[in-house]
């Protein structure tokens, strides 16, 4: 099985917190029945969900979701159109060279930014949006995708087709072994995932402070408040990861378990950055 680090380069990915998150989720899962559903409303690059589903044989039901239609389309391609996606991933570098277009990243970014609703996906052939999403994050500075000003300095320096194809196969194997809600990665507002049913939640919403600079589908303050209210009503076990910010502490202090974890990041230069792990279970 692959070393779970997510399918693509993605800002705010939880690879460096993975061990701590896995331990906590496994403890929460032990108190649930065999049919309990793992629900992840902000699936993103998938590092946490893939690791949890890949290493917990008892977790066979999952609801994976991402509000970004292009991200959801990428995961749908991994699940249902893996062969087509792999062919396009392999052909992408040569296609870029043949085009001799120095603005290929701008073209990718513009097309992805135009996809704001699942209905927009109908303008593109199956799996093409998945390739665009994967390529944009893989070749952009710090994996910022549509929020990046341009590609890495060295053309396609981070784009390794062999490695990406291996990841697509490994992700497809894990996701093909579980029963997914709607058979795919859904593209819904996060509140839809709080419908009734035995479940365990892991949530990694857009960062509070830098969200608009990192994500095409960032949160407003009211979105962060809306998430807090949904979680405060929730008695089922949940684990939430956030950037440390006074506004987040104000929302959760006094009723949720809050733990501060320091993580090494390299975006905008090497630095140590505090993150928060919050839950309704001690």
- Residue 2 falls inside a structural domain: no
Is there a single domain that holds both residue 132 and residue 179?
no
* pLDDT number for residue 258: 98
Q: What is the pLDDT of residues 70-126, one digit of tens each?
A: 999 999 999 999 999 999 999 998 888 777 666 777 888 889 999 999 999 999 998
Q: Where is the domain boundary, 128, 161, 194?
A: 161
* Overall number of domains in the chain: 2
Integer distance in angstroms from the first to the last C-alpha of the chain?
A: 31
Q: Which residues pair with 276 in a beta bridge?
A: 242, 260
Q: What is the pLDDT of residues 236-269, one digit of tens each?
A: 999 999 999 999 999 999 999 999 998 776 555 5
* pLDDT number for residue 2: 39
* pLDDT number for residue 211: 58
Is there a single domain that holds both residue 19 and residue 82?
no
pLDDT at 153 over 50: no
Is there a single domain that holds both residue 100 and residue 196?
no
Is there a single domain that holds both residue 198 and residue 269?
yes
Q: Where is the domain boundary, 109, 142, 161?
A: 161
Residue 209: which pLDDT band, with cuts at 50, 70 and 90?
confident
- Domain membership of residue 207 as a residue range: 15-68+169-279
- Residue 147 falls inside a structural domain: yes
Tell me the C-alpha distance between 208 and 3, whole Å: 29
Nearest to 136 by CA among 105, 160, 166, 111: 105
- What is the residue-averaged pLDDT of the chain? 88
* pLDDT number for residue 212: 65
Is there a single domain that holds both residue 59 and residue 78?
no
Is there a single domain that holds both residue 157 and residue 192?
no
pLDDT at 48 over 70: yes
pLDDT at 224 over 60: yes
* pLDDT number for residue 189: 98
> Residue 12 in contact with residue 43, Cβ under 8 Å?
no
* pLDDT number for residue 152: 45
Mean pLDDT calculated for residue range 6-28: 83
């Amino acid at each position: 099985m692959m070393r779970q680090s997510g399918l693509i380069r993605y800002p705010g990915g939880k690879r460096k917190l993975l061990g701590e998150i896995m331990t906590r989720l496994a403890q929460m899962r032990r108190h649930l029945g065999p049919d309990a559903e793992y629900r992840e409303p902000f699936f993103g690059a998938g590092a946490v969900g893939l690791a949890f589903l890949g290493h917990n044989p008892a977790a066979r039901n999952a609801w994976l979701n991402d509000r970004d239609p292009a991200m959801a389309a990428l995961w749908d391609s991994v699940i249902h159109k893996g062969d087509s996606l792999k062919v396009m991933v392999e052909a992408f570098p040569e296609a870029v060279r043949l085009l001799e277009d120095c603005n290929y990243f701008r073209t990718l970014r513009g097309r992805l930014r135009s996809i704001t609703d699942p209905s927009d996906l109908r303008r593109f052939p199956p799996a093409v949006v998945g390739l665009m999403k994967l390529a944009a994050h893989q070749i952009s500075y710090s994996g910022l995708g549509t929020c990046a000003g341009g590609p890495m300095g060295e053309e396609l320096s981070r784009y390794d087709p062999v490695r990406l194809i291996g990841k697509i196969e490994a992700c497809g194997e894990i996701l093909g072994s579980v029963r997914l809600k709607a058979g795919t990665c859904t593209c819904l507002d996060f509140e839809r995932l709080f419908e009734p049913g035995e479940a365990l939640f892991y949530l990694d919403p857009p960062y509070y402070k830098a969200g608009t600079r990192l994500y095409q589908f960032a949160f407003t303050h009211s979105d962060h408040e809306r998430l807090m209210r949904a979680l405060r009503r929730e008695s089922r076990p949940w684990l939430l990861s956030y950037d440390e910010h006074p506004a987040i502490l104000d929302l959760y202090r006094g009723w949720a378990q809050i733990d501060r974890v320091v993580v090494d990041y390299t975006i905008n230069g090497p630095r140590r950055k505090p993150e928060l792990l919050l839950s309704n279970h001690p």
